[in-house]
Amino acid sequence: MADKVLMKGNEALAEAAIKAGCRHYFGYPITPQTEVAAYMAKRMPKIGGTFLQAESEIAAINMVYGVAAAGKRVMTSSSSPGISLKGEGISYLAGSDLPALIVNVQRGGPGLGGIQPSQSDYFQATRGGGHGDYHMIVLAPASVQEMAELTVLGFELADTYRMPAMVLADGTMGQMMEPVSLDFAVSPAPEKPWATTGTKMAREHNIVNSLFLTPEELEQLNFTRYERYQAIEANETRYEEYMTEDADIILAAFGIAARVSRTAVNEARKQGIKVGLIRPITLWPFPYAPFAKAAEHAKAFISVELNMGQMIEDVRLAISCKAPVTLCNRAGGMIPSPGQVLEAIQKADGGVSK
């Protein structure tokens, strides 16, 4: 434990990005992620990096696009309304096959919404957010340690698959302090022969571009990109199971909702209810397999979310409607209590016993 320090999630994430070799950060202030920018503003000048407060989230994501095109690890962070503004740039990153890390420390919406924790950008993150056929790798931390580790993983996967990755956190993950160890391995960025770093008069010019006016060509590019996505679905799906083996009831929850759910599972187990938790760590690709497997014995599923029910659609898809799926939720910046989740479990258990 000696190497552990207490850090806010936002700060642990920022330091982990630096550990991952990110030396370029572009952002714009918005609660509750501003600590990321503040941390970068302090650290980057000391290590020869670039921190730049952009004139807007739109400018920030396009600065990210520029550094990514030049082949370096780069990131931006924001919170929900700001991520909407970045949607255009994210689509261009995906369309130009550029790696970059985008952090969304979610707050309640829609519109200006509020500043308290939320998970209501699940659809936006997992279905794209910007226009066109594309995906981002979406990572959902449930602890300060994961805020750090999934940030590193985000950079690595983005580089490996040449695509944007997102850390989808929420206000509690950003603001919470927990012991964290930053003593972990980082794979260096791979060679990027496609990057626009100047031809040095030694090769053909590289072009970073998402415009393809010939539909046949654009279709083929989409096909190729989706083959890559299939490889990611096969190789990079991550999740955690907790007490699922004998479970009659399965909770589905990510991020802070998974923390609350875990407490509720412990309470319910004390009451003799067989309940378990599947916590997706990658939201895209979504871990369909463990849910399908659980559906072989589980009789009810509960999706615990800080929104009006978004991930629940993936849970239903995953189990092919073999069992009822109910929603246990709060919205607008409210967080379900372990008691609320326990009640949902008890209610489901009543149904199961009958």
Partner 1 sequence: MTVFEKPHAMTDVPMHYCPGCTHGIVHRLVAEVIDELGIEGRTIGIAPVGCAVMAYDYFNCDMIEAAHGRAPAVATGVKRADPENHVVFTYQGDGDLASIGTAETVHAAARNENITVIFINNAIYGMTGGQMAPTSLPGQVTQTSPYGRDPKLCGYPVKICEMLSTLDGAEYLERVAVNNVANIRKAKKAIKKAFQNQLDGKGFSLVEVLSSCPTNWGMTPQKALQWIDEKMIPYYPLGVYKDRSAAKEEA
Partner 2 sequence: MSMKRFLFSGFGGQGILFAGKLLAYKGLMEDKQVSWLPSYGPEMRGGTASCSVIISDEPVGSPIVAEPDILVAMNLPSLDRYESAVQPGGMIFVDSSLVERKVQRDDVQVYYVPATKLAGDNDMPTLANIILMGKILKVLDEYEESSIGAALQKVISARHADMLDVNRKALEIGANA
Binds 68, which of partner 2, partner 1, none (CB < 5 to 8 A, cut-off by type)?
partner 1
Report the side by side order of strands in the sheet with 239-242: 239-242, 275-280, 249-252, 300-305, 325-329
**Rounded CA gap, 124 and 127, in Å?**
6
Give residues 249-288 in contact with partner 2 (rule: CB under 8 A).
256, 259-260, 262-264, 266
Q: Got the DSSP string for 239-307?
A: EEEES-TT-SEEEE--HHHHHHHHHHHHHHHHTT--EEEEEESEEES--HHHHHHHTTT-SEEEEEESS
Binds 256, which of partner 1, partner 2, none (CB < 5 to 8 A, cut-off by type)?
partner 2
Binds 260, which of partner 2, partner 1, none (CB < 5 to 8 A, cut-off by type)?
partner 2
* Residue from 21, 31, 85, 210 binding partner 2 (CB under 8 A): 31
**Rounded CA gap, 65 and 74, in Å?**
9
Binds 21, which of partner 1, partner 2, none (CB < 5 to 8 A, cut-off by type)?
none
* Residue from 45, 110, 179, 190 binding partner 2 (CB under 8 A): 179
**Rounded CA gap, 291 and 106, in Å?**
25
DSSP 113: -
In whole angstroms, how close is the CB of 83 to partner 1 at the nearest point? 16
Structural tokens at position 329: 């939720």
Q: Got the DSSP string for 171-205?
A: HHHHH-EEEE------PPPPP-TTS-S--TTSSPP
Contact residues: partner 1, CB under 8 A: 24, 26, 50, 52, 54-56, 58-60, 62-72, 74, 88-89, 92, 96, 196-202, 205-211
Q: Does 338 bind partner 2 (CB under 8 A)?
A: yes
In whole angstroms, how close is the CB of 190 to partner 1 at the nearest point? 16
Binds 29, which of partner 2, partner 1, none (CB < 5 to 8 A, cut-off by type)?
none
Phi, psi of 100, deg, nearest 5: -165, 160
What residue ranges bind partner 2 (CB under 8 A)? 1, 4-6, 31-32, 115-116, 171-172, 175-179, 256, 259-260, 262-264, 266, 335, 337-338
